[in-house]
Amino acid sequence: MNAVFYYLARSPQFVNPAHHWSAVEHNENIRCLTTLGHFGFECLPTQLVNRSIQKGFSFNILCVGETGIGKSTLINTLFNINLKESKASHFYSKVGLKVKTYELQDRNIPLKLTVVKTVGYGDQINKEASYQPVVDYLDAQFEAYLQEELKIKRSLVDYNDSRIHVCLYFIAPTGHSLKSLDLMTMKNIDRRVNIIPLIAKADALSKSDLQRFKSNIMSELVSNGIRIFQFPEDDEDAAQVNTSVNGLLPFAVVGSMEEVKVGKRMVRGRHYPWGVLQVENENHCDFVKLRDLLLCTHMEDLKDQTHTQHYECYRSSRLQQLGFHDTGPDSQPVSFQEMYEAKRQEFHAQCQREEEELKQTFMQRVKEKELTFKDAEKEARITHLTSILWVLFFGG
């Protein structure tokens, strides 16, 4: 293999890069050379692939949507599994979250899938009480990761990372607009998780209604300043694909585990008196697009964004809450050691202040008690004297 090498040359003359690895760090000019030798760099990605296969993959999905909107059916259809689920009731007194983890395998590639599903969502009168458990759950997973990170002995390599990588938000196929609960929930979670909005049970809408509904939803999201996950468009090839994908949002999905006969083939679909809706037919719904993006092309982007954007945001605000800062009042960087020392002194001073206050209060109360005792003593003496005088003058 003739590899093209970029390296920093110590002198202007030609230097064989194979013998000068250590020179790379110290020199200033960048040279581009065609090498004759084989360095085996092309195997580096293989190392990553092997390690990933050994370690396995994990993916955490949050499904938010009204009771019976099709959350379980869609997850089953996405992963081609039949996870037996009992139907949730419409009469829960509050919103809960059901967490289940499954160990899946596809051609020797293990995937640990965690599915978190809302229960009782959309059945509550109080809207804040509907979305707050979702917000709290997302924060709790970030907090658990932060606590692990802050430990002296961390075990992040085999840490069971439960941070949510994607939220599939199920919108009811009303054909009108988003409900106020949809807006409130998405507004409160969009800085905590990657949201992919879905029009659930999209087979309930005609093609033209669906298009109108999609554009209504997108304009409502924009006008309410709600950020949904944007598929990256940073390299040219991906940009072309992803621009069209971003244009498809919110995805219109249909779920079904039923096998239906179409011609001579068995396909996954929903059988109606007037025909068959094929789940995996891109002319019928966006299910295949969603599955490809989630499982084939963008799983790593979703995980990456969770760590670098959402978790980072949580971490920085939490550390600021705890009183940590990167810069001092003079905008100069502050070292951790200095900050720790300052915090320690501040804490010490506060302890002293509180001790002093306690002492003062104690002294004050002792004085008050002494005065009370003195008054009581004086009164007792007067009473005693009065009774003696009474006996002396009036004789008992």
Ligand X SMILES: Nc1nc2c(ncn2[C@@H]2O[C@H](COP(=O)(O)OP(=O)(O)OP(=O)(O)O)[C@@H](O)[C@H]2O)c(=O)[nH]1
User: What are the helix (H) ranges across the chain?
Assistant: 44-55, 71-79, 127-150, 180-189, 207-223, 236-248, 287-291, 299-305, 312-321, 336-394
Which residues are CB-contacts of 242 (< 8 A; sequence separation ≥ 6)?
231, 232, 233
What angle do helix axes 180-189 and 127-150 make, rounded to 10 degrees? Answer: 10
Residues 229 to 288 in contact with ligand X, rule: CB under 6 A: 254-255
Q: Toward ligand X, which CB reaches closer, 68 or 110?
A: 68
Residue whose CB is less far from ligand X, 175 or 232:
175
The reply to whether 167 sits near ligand X by the rule CB under 6 A is: no
Q: Which is nearer to ligand X, 9 or 167 (CB)?
A: 167
Question: Applying CB under 6 A, does 226 fall inside the site for ligand X?
Answer: no
User: What's the CA gap between 392 and 201, in Å, rounded?
Assistant: 106
Residue 68 binds to ligand X (criterion: CB under 6 A): yes
- 8-state DSSP, 89: P
**19-27, 28-36, 61-69, 261-269 -> range binding ligand X (CB under 6 A):** 61-69
71 scored as a contact of ligand X (CB under 6 A): yes
Given candidates 26, 51, 87, 107, which one binds ligand X under the rule CB under 6 A?
Answer: 87
Burial annotation 308-322 (CB, 10 A radius, 16+ → b, else e) = eebbeebbeeeeeee
- Smallest gap from residue 332 Cβ to ligand X (A): 54
- In sequence order, what are the beta bridge partners of 269? 278
* Residues contacting ligand X: total by CB under 6 A: 14
Q: Which residue is nearest to ligand X (CB)?
A: 70
Q: Does 97 bind ligand X (CB under 6 A)?
A: no
According to CB under 6 A, which one of 9, 17, 64, 72 is a site residue for ligand X?
A: 72
The region of 64-72, 143-151, 361-369, 374-382 touching ligand X under the rule CB under 6 A is: 64-72
> Residue 343 in contact with residue 168, Cβ under 8 Å?
no
Is residue 201 a contact point for ligand X (CB under 6 A)?
yes
| Binding piece for ligand X, criterion CB under 6 A, among 63-71, 291-299, 330-338, 387-395 | 63-71
Q: What is the dihedral of CA 321, 325, 326, 332, to 10 degrees?
A: 150
Any contact of residue 88 with ligand X (CB under 6 A)? yes
Is 63:115 a contact under the CB 8 Å cutoff? yes
Is 62 a binding residue for ligand X by CB under 6 A? The answer is no
**CA 1 to the chain's CA centroid:** 43
Provide the binding-site residues for ligand X, judged by CB under 6 A.
65, 67-73, 87-88, 201, 203, 254-255
